[in-house]
Structure 1
Amino acid sequence: MVKSTCIVAAVLFGLFAAPVSAQDAPTLNIYTYDGFAADWGPGPVLKQGFEAICGGCTVEWIAADSSIGTLRRVQLEGDTTQADIIVGLDTAIAGEARDTGLFADHGLDMSGLNLPQAWTDAQFVPFDYAHFAFVYDTDTVATPPTSFEELIALPDDFKIAVQDPRSATPGLGLVMWIRAAYGDRAPEIWAGLKPHILSVTREWSESYNLFLQGEADMALSYTTSPAYHIIAEGDDTVHAALFSEGHLAQTEVAGILKSSEQQELARQFLDYLTSPDAQKIIPTTNWMLPVIDLGDQLEPTYATLPQPEKTLTVTDAEIAADSKAWIDEMLSAVQ
């Protein structure tokens, strides 16, 4: 398990340092997506937890409409950005973010993480993950498809809602999932899916609402999405369909901007983000799996959720070389 060195440092600081005045207290500006910073998201609780141990700092969340939006904003602002950290990029766009040259090495020990694959990224620290999946309601879909090909074979009035890969990371994840599963057959799969696509929405929330309102039979989401309905609503009818091809995992990450004047404080925050105190917040606020083994501190519902037997992968090199072409072939097939 990752050692939370920031906690020790903060305690020592509190014992031996003079009190920090409000005027001198450092502020950590963090760009993230709106759901993360929302009152019901993990942001407010993480802010409270870190401010309690950082020796008088203030955490400020600055939200964009999506994680892709946070990256685009930093790219526009460059070295003049007020952001110290971005929280909420994912492995599909981390390579692009790294190539901007705007992110610093985190310098933290990631050997204690519990992820589908070993973590070796020098710039980005993971804080949660889940596999992409289509969710359905057992009240309306008695027998869900168990592969993309089974989905394609269903009558055309069986509808799915997906997201635009240019604006939503799940939409980009679906493009990569189909590529990882089918390779050069991906355009054929997209052509088969076209009659079933009710809508390609800008963001995840829009397509998920189409599913919740009964307009779509399934929506692209995560294997962990049923946990929300079980824990928050007492509803066990929402399930994730597991596909025989395997599933692609999305890992969300955080990174420090080189231009930040709060480098050490930013590292302390990333260290805190992978600590047990922070990780136990994630499953019931961001509805994803923790990146460390929480043992009996993990909400028991998660142990009941079926998970894929096979995790598919796409390398950073493949994403950098081919993701634009993959997006173009998806858009041309479904439009």
Structure 2
Amino acid sequence: MNNRLTLAAALVVATGAASAQTTTPELVVYTYDSFASEWGPGPAIKASFEASCACTLTFVAAGDGAEVLSRLRLEGSRSPADVVVGLDSSLIPMANDSGLFAPHGQDMAALTLPIDWDDATYLPFDWGYFAFVYDTTRVETPPTSFVMLDALDYSIIIQDPRSSTPGLGLLLWIKAAFGDRSGALWDGLADQIVTVTPGWSEAYGLFIAGEADMVLSYTTSPAYHAIVEGDETKAAATFAEGHYMQIELAAQLASSDQPELAAAFMAHLLSPAVQDVIPTTNWMYPAAQSAPLPEGFAQAPERALNYPTEWIAENRQAAVDEWLAALAR
């Protein structure tokens, strides 16, 4: 009897050990809501990565880009995340201050960004330009500058810069274009703001529902309506002040318990399997373009605004303070 019990116990231990050894590893990726949605690039990326990694890729949608970083900062080294997808160039100063991210170690020779990029921690996966998107059936005279936007008094929806990367991008865009005069511009625009949403998805949804004339989005957003819906009534206003450039980034968590798998995923982000689906799922320019853009995809604006991390760090809080002051009046 004792021998049988001993044998049974040994079999249980052996079976458990074998099971532990064959458990499929999981890679946890924090990202923003629209990226992980069924119409975003997340499902296609999950399928292509899992086909080669012998792992499970789990996307965790955590709001907009700035909200994702806030969650990571709260969780610290206890975070279950291995990789974050959806930071952007305006968040680099705060991301650096967190100390949460490790060098990515990736070869960036394939990058096709319109600017040089050599950051060892943050890896670009797509990029675009902020713009105010409008409905041509409602807006007869599209503004061609921020000053004209103020004068025409169209209703607009924007995103909160404290939780949203487009929202922060708008503040930096205005700060870059107007400098010390940006506070005065916000004083004029404040009355036109219908609502301020936590993230892009909520703002764009309200715009599509007809809640405002214009919404802060991207120069490439109308391409979705034209290509997918056959709807030519959406357009992006071109501003004389130029358009602020957003570079969306991925980064590897220093606390990841799957560093090799995380590195493989980072490399996968620059592969054709990912880059070729970015234009028609995330509606942005691919960071390592290897195929022609779809017909009808928006051309980049002639004048681009892009500022270094140091400038962002110096001007971010002042830009937020000006915006808050204007909305409080």
**Residue 75 (1) aligns with residue 70 (2):** no
Could you list the per-position Cα deviations for residues 75-118 of structure 1 after superposition, in whole angstroms to 9, with x for gaps in the alignment?
11111111110011111112211221110001112132111211
Larger C-alpha radius of gyration, 1 or 2? 2
Tell me what 1:101 maps to: 99
CA distance in 2, matches of 1:249, 1:46: 24
Contact 2:245 2:304 survives alignment (8 Å): yes
Matches within 5 A, 1:287-302: 287-296=283-292, 298-302=293-297
- 1:125–1:254 CA contact under 8 A, matched in 2: yes
1:251 to 247, 272, 289: 247
Following the alignment from structure 1 to structure 2, what is the Cα–Cα distance between the partners of residues 293 and 203?
27
Q: 2:84 aligns with which of 67, 70, 86?
A: 86
- Secondary structure of the 1:256 match is strand
The residue aligned with 1:58 is 56
Secondary structure in 2 matching 1:283: coil
Match of 2:203 among 204, 207, 210: 207
Residue type at the aligned position of 2:150: I
Which letter does structure 1 place at the counterpart of 2:50?
E
User: Aligned partners of 1:127, 1:254: CA distance in 2, in Å?
Assistant: 7
Q: CA–CA distance in 2 between the matches of 1:284 and 1:21?
A: 40
Aligned length: 310
What corresponds to 1:17 in structure 2?
A: none
- Is 1:322 equivalent to 2:315 in the alignment? yes
Amino acid in structure 2 at the alignment position of 1:241: A
Unaligned runs of 5+ in 2: 1-18
Q: Is the 8 A contact 2:124 2:250 kept in 1?
A: yes
- Return the offset for 1:49: 0.1
Structure 1 stretches lacking a partner, 5+ long:
1-19
| Alignment equivalent of 2:271, drawn from 264, 271, 275 | 275
- 1:123-162 pair list within 5 angstroms: 123-154=121-152, 156=153, 158-162=154-158
Task: Find out whether 1:235 has 2:235 as its counterpart.
Answer: no
Could you list the per-position Cα deviations for residues 294-325 of structure 1 after superposition, in whole angstroms to 9, with x for gaps in the alignment?
A: 333x32221xx242111112221122233122
Mapped to 1, the partners of 2:194 and 2:137 lie a distance apart of 20
Q: What is the CA RMSD across the aligned residues, in angstroms?
A: 1.7
Per the alignment, in what secondary structure is the counterpart of residue 52 of structure 2?
coil
Aligned residue identity for 1:53: S
Q: Report the equivalent of 1:10.
A: none
Residue aligning to 1:112: 110
Taking only the aligned residue pairs, the percentage that are identical comes to: 52
Query: 1:156-179 deviations in whole A, cap 9, x for unaligned?
Result: 4x2111111111111100000001
**In 2, Cα distance between the equivalents of 1:300 and 1:277?**
19
1:29 has 2:28 as partner: yes
